A and B are shown apart, each in its own frame.
Chain A
């Protein structure tokens, strides 16, 4: 009997059964015990994965996104050229607006923050997670927001920290379909910007749902949608997010589309850079004086 159980085939079958049980049984003790090895393992592979990330971000750097290009017929060129020039003027206006907004905060006061520049260790585009070389010893908490500086745009919201270990943390990217909270409220900024905070309340808002590499709002009221056009920037204005995330750029509107419901339109927002290919991030870590809210806190 003893010999039968030390037989390699029996051991193999036993291992398979044990693994199947560990994989299928919710919150089992084996998984709980072994999951403590997650952090050490990430640390062990970090030298290679970070070197790989370094090569990766140089081979294929995060490109600024411009939305999908339409198929163009010859007769449409004149009209498209006119639209293109109008869009350039819009972009120019937006850039000035953003620059002005960055110099002069208009949305309450800047929350008390610690800002840290951190490097990526590894990225899993399928899961929408990015591991960064900063952990609890660098003051990172679950209320921390990851952003990235995009030239001429400002701070692009990348995601929020969903796991913190001593040496590293994990960011969940806002565009990933499993991102939680699954609805992100944004405010659409007109091309010429806004003069003061009081104008903010009158601007069109949208509830964006992550859909892979973009975010989509399916039920924007027609009255709001009429004031939204491709090229407009969408900033985060969501009370369920920490103060550290408010007014960061979610992305740029690339499409305003009719839906089956006549009173609603669909808008598509694309981040201003490819979030999965970023090599470095600016962490916005709320301090004790600031008040991390809701989902992020």
Chain B
């Protein structure tokens, strides 16, 4: 995978998540899709294991460092780990599933895997933050269910976004210069054997 292409795409997606999410969220509920998870799922479908895991890890760290966490003193801090851990686990799940189940990587595949990845990410982040808040009373995270439900709904919404974004990402796929040995994928019907 061409690193610079991924970095630009990640920069764009993380920026859109930060700036555009409230415009496309459902009503006044905290249910909004994530462009970044679609990108990571796309990369995991096409890139080599090592590239995919590294991309997920670095993106997760970036999201962790950009996510505000409230403290008892009224200030904010960052917690490194929840998103990085969640995205890396999600990436590993997609890498496993792509070899076992799916023979055709089309936008529907992308949408389903994106929703699954986003759900796994939500579960991981909620679990991690709940444990952290128990161990570290400075961190405020006292309503796991209140973040889990919107998170799971957001995961489904992200799956829908993947249908639209999938076409865009497929168009730009040559720019990523993916080389995934031994994996068979196709887009729009024509199979491509990669060696």
Residues of A that sit less than 8 Å from B by CB: 8, 12, 15-16, 19-27, 30-31, 34-35, 37-38, 41-42, 44-57, 59-60, 121-127, 129, 131, 162-163, 170, 172, 177-178, 180-181, 213, 274, 276-277, 295
Contact = CB atoms under 8 A, between A and B. Distances in A.
B169 interface: no
B19 A51 contact: yes
Interface in B66-86: 66-70, 72-82, 84-85
B85 A38 contact: no
A178 B140 contact: yes
B22 A127 contact: no
B161 interface: no
A44 B73 CA distance: 28
Contact of B81 (A23, A126, A129): A23
B81 to A, nearest CB: 2
Interface of B: 11-12, 14-16, 18-23, 25, 28, 30, 32, 49-50, 53, 57, 60-62, 65-70, 72-82, 84-85, 88-89, 92, 128, 131-132, 135-136, 138-140, 143, 147, 150
Nearest to A128: B70
Contacts of A53: 19-20
B142 to A, nearest CB: 9
Contacts of A45: 11, 14-15, 18, 66
A275 B138 CA distance: 26
A162 B76 contact: yes
* List of 8 A-B pairs having minimum Cβ-Cβ separation, nearest first: A52-B19, A48-B15, A23-B81, A180-B74, A26-B136, A56-B23, A49-B19, A122-B18
A292 to B, nearest CB: 14
Nearest to B143: A177
A129 B67 CA distance: 10
B135 A127 contact: no
A51 B69 CA distance: 24
B57 A15 contact: yes
Contacts of A213: 28
Given A16-B85, A38-B65, A44-B11, A125 B21 contact: yes
A170 B58 CA distance: 24
5 contacts: A8-B50, A23-B128, A60-B22, A125-B25, A274-B28
A52 B82 contact: no
B138 A8 contact: no
A37 B67 CA distance: 12
